[in-house]
Amino acid sequence: MRRYPRRRQAWRATQRLTAVLLLVWAAASFLPGWFAEELNTVSFLGWPFGFYMAAQGRSHLLLIVWIYDRWMTGLERRYGLHDDD
């Protein structure tokens, strides 16, 4: 393992990024369902906030995927693992 310290650092950074984004995804996916009644007492753009969070769930997922892509490209460049297309 000592032969590739930069790859090991890159792998650790990738694991941290993945863990953080999975926690964000889990919170954004499950917490609105658990607290739907409380969220529906708040109105957002004329709609109950619980309904808004459920309706916009796909766009939040796409945002997380986009953040992952941008961040991973930066990590690959930082550690010299990026292939120039």
Q: Scan for tokens 């953080």, then name that residue.
A: 20
Q: What is the DSSP string of 55-72?
A: HTHHHHHHHHHHHHHHHH
Q: How far apart are CA 34 and CA 74, in angstroms?
A: 35
Q: Scan for tokens 């120039």, then name that residue.
A: 84
pLDDT per position as a tens digit, 33-78: 788 888 889 888 888 888 877 777 667 778 888 999 999 999 988 8
Q: pTM of the entire structure?
A: 0.69
16 bridge partner residues: none
Confidence at residue 20, expressed as pLDDT on a 0 to 100 scale: 92
The answer on pLDDT for 85 being more than 70 is no
